[in-house]
Structure 1
Amino acid sequence: MIYHKIDTTDLGKLSSFISDKERFITKPTSHWDHDQFKTVRAVPDLVIQPVTNEEVQKVVEYASDHQIPLVPRGNSTGLMGANLTVEGGISLDMVKMNKILEYDPESLTMTIQAGARLKDIEEFLADKPFTYMPAPAMHWAAIGGNVDTNAGGLKAIKYGVTREHIRKLAVVLTDGKLYKFGAKAVKSASGYSLKDLIIGSEGTLGVVTEVTVRLYPRPKKAINAIIPFSDLDSAIKSVPAILASGVVPTTVEFMGRKVISLWEKYYNEHFPIEKGNGFIILGLDAFTDGELKAELEQALAATKEFNSYDAVVLDADSDEAKKIWECREALLLAIQKSTPKMDEVDICVPINKIPDVLHRIDELEEDTGMRIPNFGHAGDGNLHIYLCSDDLSDEEYDEKRKYIIGELYNTAKALDGNMSGEHGIGYARKDWFEDYYGKDYTDLLRKIKTVFDPNGVINPDKIFPLE
């Protein structure tokens, strides 16, 4: 597809839409050319930082009418290049649209602008009886980005992913109109759910400007149980038994001693549990001590047939528990510090198939000589698998990286899994998409894209090739 290159006429017209010229950046720096991984870089021709829906509407409509690529951008914590202006054009940087617009506890909702960070939402709700449940590890991620990727996080097993916590969206489409998809009402049997289509679309259908989230009563009690096992395989095989016991944990995470050692090394920290090589972090919450005690006993009893060691049970607010979670949430960055280049695959498979994936990773490490550390969400089958360059040349790394990615996707497909559990497809994985899901399925998505974005300007060349 051929796009229009921004010229002086475009700059003059677009700048007239933005009241503060400091938010109209004609010479973008490297700040805007990458995401968290920095594996793909693309400098936009222009950066616009809107603060109102009206500014977004005018910019989006002009971009569509003049065939200028436009890419919504949050806090750039993504990993698959979904926020990169790979075709040039406009980076619509939403970080200044960060206001909390309405706190409505009686309807159990809160409305915020798309650029607000999870951290901002958490701080606002800290002294209130309600909370926003989704818990992606990147607390500085913008809520709009979480919507666009349908972010998962640590509590998905009990409370669901982002989609389950969004009541309503304000979205600007390429006709320049502001649409409201969804409502504060809990239930709907009222036609197609366009809200749910926007969630997870990675910014390819329109620009999310406002998000109305569901609030949840804050549980009174919360504990973490760190359960050591002699090996990671035994740890993961215990998870279906925990869930079959009738317990619904908030969190079931897995990590092995090898990846923990990277955190210890690069953060100069010490993991407080000496025994075991595989660990399950079990989070439980409830409204009474009795509920919590009964669930914990049931869950721990279920792990005994897998030869678990004695669990370390911690109050969720204790310093020891915070240290455990600091480790878990910093694992990605610790791995990134350990190698010059890194890529990631976050396939999602049925929970009883996680050991199959881990065995395949061991085989790939042995076959290719590449280090492939991993950890993930044992309760929902979402694995985070990292491909490290270490001492490999750029050519060797690229060749092995592509081979391993393809093999992991083949494994996930054979196990009835998905390409991504929460990080999305973005730009980095678009060339694998059609092969994984098939041409008929991908063509259907292309038709949907055309309805919302007939000129193909909104975040082009992401998820799947347009043609």
Structure 2
Amino acid sequence: MQYHKIDQNDLDILKTYISDDERFITKPTEHWDHDQFKTVRAMPDLVIQPVTNEEVTKVVKYASDHNIPLVPRGNSTGLMGANLTVDGGISLDMIKMNKILEYSPESLNMTVQAGIRLKDIEEFLADKPFTYMPAPAMHWAAIGGNVDTNAGGLKAIKYGVTREHIRELKVALTDGKLYKFGSKAVKSASGYSLKDIIIGSEGTLGVVTEVTIRLYPRPRKAINAIIPFPTLDDAIKSIPAILASGVVPTTVEFMGRKVIQLWEKYYNETFPISEGDGFIILGIDAFTDEELQAELKQALAATKPFNAMKAVVLDADSEEAKKIWACREALLLAIQKSTPKMDEVDICVPINHIPDVLHRIDELEKEQNMRIPNFGHAGDGNLHIYLCSDDMSDEEFKKKSDYVITELYKTAKSLDGNMSGEHGIGYARKDWFESYYGKDYTDILRKIKRVFDPNYVINPDKIFPAE
């Protein structure tokens, strides 16, 4: 795809849309050339930091009319290069659009600008009876990025992913108009859900500027049970039994001793449980202590046939529980610290097939002589799998990584799984997309892309190739 290179005339016109020189950056630094992974780097020609819907709509329309690629960007916590300006052009950095616009507890919703961080939403709601339930591990991620990737997180098994918690979006499209998709009403049987097409589109269809989120009554009681098992295989096999017991946990996470040891090493910490090589972190919330204890008893009984060791039960606000969650949430960064380069796969499979994926990872580790640490969301079948370069050359790592990624996608597809559970496809995985889902399916997505973005300028070269 051939795009127009930004020239002085473009700069002069675009500058008239932005009132503040500090938000119109003609000499971007490396801050804007990467995401959390830093595996692929691409520098934009221009960075614009809008603060109003009007600024966004004007810039988006100009980019479309003049064939300039434009990439929306949040807090850059993505892992698949979805916010990289791989074709140059404009990086539309939304992080200054970070205000809470309306808090409506009587309607169980709250409207925020797309650049606000999850952390800021959590802090605003901390002393209120309502909360925003989705819990991605990166609390400094912007809500617009969570919408664009349909982020999952730790509570998806009980409360669902981002999609289930979005009531309404304001979206700037290439015609220069701001559209409202969805509504603040709870239900709709009124035509196509364009809101749900935008959610998970990785910023390829338009620019989200405002998000109305669902508020949920804050649970009164919460506990965590950390259950050790002799092996990770034992731990994973217990999950269907827990869910079949009638208990609906808030969270079911898995991790093994090997990946915990990386956290201990690089964070100078000690995991509070010394026995076992496989662990399930079970989170349960309820209205009363009686409900909580009844669900916990039922869940723990379900794990006994799978060689479960003595569970450590903690109040969710205890210091020990906080340490265990700090370990879980820092596993990605601990793995990243352990190797010069890293790549990642976050396939999602039916939960009863998680052991099949873990066995294939073990085979690939031995076959390729590559370290492939992993952990994930046992309750929804979403695995986070990391490929470590260690002492390999860049060429060797690239060759082995491509092979391992291809094999893991083959495994996921054979189990009726998906390429990504929450991190998205982005730029890094777009070349695998059509072979995974097929040309007919991908061509339908291409047609949708052209309806929203006829000039193919909004976050191009992401999810799937243009042709």
TM-score norm. by structure 2 comes to 1.00
5 Å-filtered alignment, 1:26-37, equals 26-37=26-37
Per-residue Cα deviation, 1:273-309 (whole angstroms, up to 9, x for no partner)? 0010000000000010010000000000000000100
Structure 1 segments, 4+ long, off by >2 Å, are none
Q: CA deviation at 1:75?
A: 0.1
Q: CA deviation at 1:402?
A: 0.2
Alignment partners' CA distance in 2, 1:220 and 1:132: 15
Q: CA deviation at 1:242?
A: 0.1
Counterpart in the other structure of 1:89: 89
Q: CA deviation at 1:334?
A: 0.1
Counterpart in the other structure of 2:362: 362
Alignment of 1:67 with 2:70, yes or no, is no
Counterpart in the other structure of 2:4: 4
Counterpart in the other structure of 1:318: 318
Alignment partners' CA distance in 1, 2:158 and 2:279: 20
Counterpart in the other structure of 2:165: 165
Alignment partners' CA distance in 1, 2:387 and 2:195: 34
Structure 1 residue identity aligned to 2:156: A
5 Å-filtered alignment, 1:92-241, equals 92-241=92-241
Structure 2 residue identity aligned to 1:49: Q
Q: CA deviation at 1:113?
A: 0.1
5 Å-filtered alignment, 1:292-307, equals 292-307=292-307
Alignment partners' CA distance in 2, 1:402 and 1:461: 19
**Which consecutive unaligned segments of at least 5 residues does structure 2 have?**
none
Alignment partners' CA distance in 2, 1:264 and 1:22: 42
Alignment partners' CA distance in 2, 1:263 and 1:438: 39
Structure 1 residue identity aligned to 2:281: I
Q: CA deviation at 1:366?
A: 0.5
Alignment partners' CA distance in 2, 1:24 and 1:357: 47
Match of 1:50, SS state, is: coil
Per-residue Cα deviation, 1:318-368 (whole angstroms, up to 9, x for no partner)? 000000000000000000000000000000000000000000000000000
Match of 2:272, SS state, is: coil
Alignment partners' CA distance in 1, 2:193 and 2:23: 34
Counterpart in the other structure of 2:48: 48
Counterpart in the other structure of 1:382: 382
Alignment partners' CA distance in 2, 1:424 and 1:242: 29
Counterpart in the other structure of 1:22: 22
Q: CA deviation at 1:92?
A: 0.1
5 Å-filtered alignment, 1:435-454, equals 435-454=435-454
Q: CA deviation at 1:130?
A: 0.2
Counterpart in the other structure of 1:80: 80
Match of 2:204, SS state, is: coil
Alignment partners' CA distance in 2, 1:279 and 1:291: 24
Q: CA deviation at 1:9?
A: 0.4
Match of 1:432, SS state, is: helix
Q: CA deviation at 1:159?
A: 0.1
Match of 1:400, SS state, is: helix
**Which consecutive unaligned segments of at least 5 residues does structure 1 have?**
none
Q: CA deviation at 1:150?
A: 0.1
Alignment partners' CA distance in 1, 2:195 and 2:395: 43
Q: CA deviation at 1:400?
A: 0.3
**Percent pairwise identity:** 86
Alignment partners' CA distance in 2, 1:427 and 1:150: 16
Alignment partners' CA distance in 2, 1:369 and 1:228: 28
Counterpart in the other structure of 1:340: 340
Alignment partners' CA distance in 1, 2:307 and 2:430: 42
Q: CA deviation at 1:49?
A: 0.1
Alignment of 1:456 with 2:435, yes or no, is no
Match of 2:274, SS state, is: coil
Alignment partners' CA distance in 2, 1:444 and 1:242: 39
Alignment partners' CA distance in 2, 1:20 and 1:392: 47
Structure 1 residue identity aligned to 2:140: W
Match of 1:283, SS state, is: strand
Alignment of 1:38 with 2:27, yes or no, is no
Q: CA deviation at 1:136?
A: 0.1
Alignment partners' CA distance in 1, 2:430 and 2:307: 42
Alignment partners' CA distance in 2, 1:307 and 1:278: 11
Alignment of 1:287 with 2:287, yes or no, is yes
Per-residue Cα deviation, 1:214-240 (whole angstroms, up to 9, x for no partner)? 000000000000000000000000000
Alignment partners' CA distance in 2, 1:172 and 1:31: 25
Match of 1:271, SS state, is: coil
Counterpart in the other structure of 2:243: 243
Alignment partners' CA distance in 2, 1:67 and 1:41: 22
Q: CA deviation at 1:244?
A: 0.1
Structure 2 residue identity aligned to 1:179: Y
Per-residue Cα deviation, 1:374-430 (whole angstroms, up to 9, x for no partner)? 000000000000000001111111100000000000000000000000000000000
Structure 2 residue identity aligned to 1:163: R
Match of 2:140, SS state, is: coil
